[in-house]
Amino acid sequence: MQIVEIEALGESALQSIAAASSSKELEQVRIAVLGKKGSLTQVLRGMGSVRQEERASLGALVNTTRVRLEEALERRASELKASELEASIKSEAVDVTLPGRSHPLGSEHLISRLTREICEVFRGIGYRVVEGPEVETEYYNFTALNAPADHPSRSLQDTFYVLDRTGVQSKILDESEVLLRPQTSTAQVRVMEEEDPPIYILAPGRVYRRDTADPSHLPQFTQIEGLVVDRGINFAQLKGTLEYFCKEIFGEDRKTRFRPHFFPFTEPSAEVDVSCGICAGEGCRFCGGTGWLEILGCGIVDPNVFGYVGIDSEEYTGFAFGMGVERIACLKYDVPDLRMLLEGDMRFLRQF
Ligand code: DAH
């Protein structure tokens, strides 16, 4: 290896370093010259076979060339790094003048809000809010609510049974049929099984019916069940409680009336109607031309129900009621069709 050749190698390496246009390219140049098999490394390795007299001067030249190249590499590397950083800052720049994406705030649905408000009214007079399962057994839905298997009142509320084709379910649920609950009255039994009187509870939740949707019926709606069990509870207290509730929710000017009715789990039983606010009692499509709308069923707890849960009916009496929240919403806000509450039309819902 001649001095001129080493100088030429150094020169061409310096040119390649200067010409490298990216960190990656520069690294390739470094490997080609100073890497394990690089051209200058090879020269260094070959020093052994150089004649003694030349070795010192040639060696010194190789070394200074290596140092020069390393310095040049370092300089070019930091130049390239800086320009690459600048380029990436430019390309990834955020335009802070662009308008941001807005995240619209959601709000409570009318039915959820009204359910909460009704619970608040009762909470104010000492009730506690509980919840039961939406998929229920026949026992809690009917049997323990005084509607045994052959009771005709069952057919009014027979809804959607959860079919058991595997046999697994009935083993788990004690041979009982399972259905989507048609009423929140099931909560009564569950609470009385667990607790001793005095009981003052409210149980809101979704219920399911084999009904076709029309202005005043929905196959799925929200019900709130109420139950009181204590010493000396009577019908006058039930009436007073529900009249107080109606005034709180509808205002002083709405009329209410109690009509005798039948429910298997109460005796005597009644239905409560509120005067229709849409037609002001004149009669319209919503109230079926009667001027009244039924919003709840109620009554004095049948002693048979106490029998199922082991409460002594000689010592305790109670009252219960169950109301439909969607109907109450329509009456309170003069909505002429229950179905409007479920359509999810924001123009409609934003009004509330
Ligand atoms: N569960 C009844 C229904 O869905 C409503 C009802 C009536 C509940 C009378 C009660 C009650 O607690 O005492 O039609």
Best mutation site among 265, 300, 323, 325 for ligand 1, i.e. most ligand atoms within 8 A of its Cβ?
A: 265
Residue whose CA is closest, atom 13 of ligand 1?
A: 298
User: Is 319 near ligand 1, meaning CB less than 6 Å away?
Assistant: no
- Convert the pLDDT of each residue in 59-97 to its tens digit: 888 889 999 999 999 999 999 999 999 998 888 888 888
Q: Examine the pLDDT at 171 and tell me if it is beyond 60.
A: no
Q: Assign 3-class secondary structure to 148-195.
A: CCCCCCHHHHCCCECCCCCCHHHHHCCCCCEEECCCCCHHHHHHHHHC
Distance 224 CA to ligand 1 centre (A): 9
Instruction: Compute the average pLDDT of residues 277-284.
Output: 81
Confidence band, pLDDT 50/70/90 cuts, at residue 172: very low
Q: Examine the pLDDT at 165 and tell me if it is beyond 60.
A: no
Which of 141, 131, 119 has the alpha carbon at shortest distance from 189?
Answer: 141
Highest CATH level, class, for 110-349: alpha beta
Distance 259 CA to ligand 1 centre (A): 14
Contact 264, 183 (CB under 8 A): no
Q: Examine the pLDDT at 188 and tell me if it is beyond 90.
A: yes
User: Is 208 near ligand 1, meaning CB less than 6 Å away?
Assistant: no
- Convert the pLDDT of each residue in 5-48 to its tens digit: 888 888 999 999 999 999 999 999 999 999 999 998 888 888 88
Question: What are the helix and strand counts (H, E) for the chain?
Answer: 13, 9
Q: Cα 267–325–311 angle (5° rounding)?
A: 35
Does residue 331 or residue 71 have the better pLDDT?
A: 71
Distance 193 CA to ligand 1 centre (A): 19
What pLDDT, on a 0 to 100 scale, did the predictor assign at position 301? Answer: 97
Residue whose CA is closest, atom 8 of ligand 1?
A: 322
Instruction: Compute the average pLDDT of residues 290-303.
Output: 93
Residue whose CA is closest, atom 14 of ligand 1?
A: 297
Q: Residue 324: beta bridge partners?
A: 223
Q: How far is CA 283 from CA 45, 64, 126, 262, in A?
A: 110, 108, 37, 25
Instruction: Compute the average pLDDT of residues 203-218.
Output: 90
Question: Euclidean distance between the first and final Cα of the chain, in Å?
Answer: 93
Q: How many Cα atoms occupy the beta-carbon half-sphere of 114 within 13 Å? A: 23
Ranges of each domain in the chain? 3-91, 110-349
CB-based burial of residue 289 (10 Å sphere; 0-12 exposed, 13-18 middle, 19+ buried)?
exposed
Distance 148 CA to ligand 1 centre (A): 16
Distance 185 CA to ligand 1 centre (A): 6
User: Is 224 near ligand 1, meaning CB less than 6 Å away?
Assistant: no
Best mutation site among 122, 185, 209, 269 for ligand 1, i.e. most ligand atoms within 8 A of its Cβ?
A: 185
Coil vs helix vs strand at 36: coil
User: Is 185 near ligand 1, meaning CB less than 6 Å away?
Assistant: yes
What pLDDT, on a 0 to 100 scale, did the predictor assign at position 265? Answer: 94
User: Is 115 near ligand 1, meaning CB less than 6 Å away?
Assistant: no
Distance 322 CA to ligand 1 centre (A): 4
Contact 293, 287 (CB under 8 A): yes
Q: Examine the pLDDT at 267 and tell me if it is beyond 90.
A: yes
What token pair was written down for 8?
Answer: 């030429």
- DSSP secondary structure code for residue 342 in this structure: G
User: Is 324 near ligand 1, meaning CB less than 6 Å away?
Assistant: no
**Percentage of residues in the chain having pLDDT higher than 90:** 54
User: Is 10 near ligand 1, meaning CB less than 6 Å away?
Assistant: no
User: Is 221 near ligand 1, meaning CB less than 6 Å away?
Assistant: no
Q: How far is CA 329 from CA 18, 206, 222, 237, 324, in A?
A: 80, 15, 11, 25, 9
Least confident stretch, 39-43, 81-85, 126-130, 300-304 = 39-43
- Convert the pLDDT of each residue in 87-123 to its tens digit: 988 888 888 888 888 888 888 899 999 999 999 999 9
Confidence band, pLDDT 50/70/90 cuts, at residue 259: very high
**Percentage of residues in the chain having pLDDT higher than 70:** 94
- Looking at the CA of residue 227, tell me the nearest atom of ligand 1: 12
Q: How far is CA 39 from CA 19, 42, 208, 267, in A?
A: 18, 5, 85, 106
Q: Are strands 220-230 and 178-180 parallel, antiparallel or unpaired?
A: unpaired
Average pLDDT value over all residues in the chain: 88
